[in-house]
Amino acid sequence: MALLTDEHKAAIGNKSKAVSVEVSRRDIIKYSVATEQQQARFLAGDEAPPLFVFGLFTSVPSLDSYRPDGIPKGGGGGLKLPLKRVMAGGTEFRQHRPIRPGDKLTGSSRITDLYEKEGRTGPLIFTVREFNVTTESGEPVIDEISTTIAR
CATH number at residue 54: 3.10.129.10
Confidence band, pLDDT 50/70/90 cuts, at residue 59: confident
Range of the domain at 37: 6-63+83-150
Taking 70 as the threshold, does the pLDDT of residue 76 lie above it? no
Instruction: Quickly state the pLDDT bin for 84 (edges 50, 70, 90).
Output: confident
Residue 22 within any structural domain of the chain? yes
How many domains does the chain divide into? Answer: 1
Distance, CA of 127 to CA of 141 (rounded, Å): 23
Any domain includes 137: yes
CA 103 – CA 25 distance, rounded (Å):
10
Residue 90 in any domain: the answer is yes
Q: Which of 110, 99, 105 lies closest to 52, judged by CA?
A: 99
Q: Contact 133/53 with Cβ under 8 angstroms?
A: yes
Determine, yes or no, domain membership for 103. yes
* 35 found inside a domain: yes
Predicted local confidence at residue 64, as pLDDT: 87
- pLDDT for res 75: 58
Q: What percent of the chain has pLDDT over 90?
A: 74
The Cα–Cα gap between 57 and 105 comes to 9
40: exposed, middle or buried (C-beta count within 10 Å: 0-12, 13-18, 19+)? Answer: exposed
| 93-141 pLDDT per residue, tens | 999 999 999 999 999 999 999 999 999 989 999 999 999 999 999 999 9
pTM of the model: 0.83
